[in-house]
């Protein structure tokens, strides 16, 4: 499922899984908050989720499969 994501999108997915918020992800990756927001939107669309919480639920339910 994550195979369609870019390397940066996977980095962001893993940081979301760790519980980081967009502001914290932006600071950690040295990118803007808006860039993180754009990546989150793209991730949501590529994975077919309706919102951010659906992404978080997926990540929590599949922690062992996502590395």
Residue 59 sits at φ, ψ, to 5 deg, of: -65, -40
Query: At which residue do the structure tokens 């590395």 appear?
Result: 67
CATH number of the 2-60 domain: 1.10.10.10
The pLDDT of residue 66 is 67
The pLDDT of residue 41 is 94
For the chain, what are the domain ranges?
A: 2-60
67 has a pLDDT exceeding 70:
no
The pLDDT of residue 62 is 81
Residue 11 sits at φ, ψ, to 5 deg, of: -55, -45
From the number of C-beta atoms within 10 Å of its C-beta (0-12, 13-18, 19+), residue 34 rates as: exposed
The pLDDT tens digits for 6-61 are 999 999 999 998 889 999 999 999 999 999 999 999 999 999 998 888 888 888 88
For residues 12 and 36, is the Cβ–Cβ distance under 8 A?
yes
């Amino acid at each position: 499922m994550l195979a369609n994501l870019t390397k940066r999108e996977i980095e962001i997915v893993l940081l979301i899984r760790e519980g980081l918020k967009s502001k914290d992800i932006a600071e950690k990756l040295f990118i803007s908050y808006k860039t993180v927001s754009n990546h989150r939107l793209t991730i949501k669309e590529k994975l077919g989720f309706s919102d951010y919480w659906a992404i978080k639920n997926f990540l929590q339910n599949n922690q062992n499969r996502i590395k």
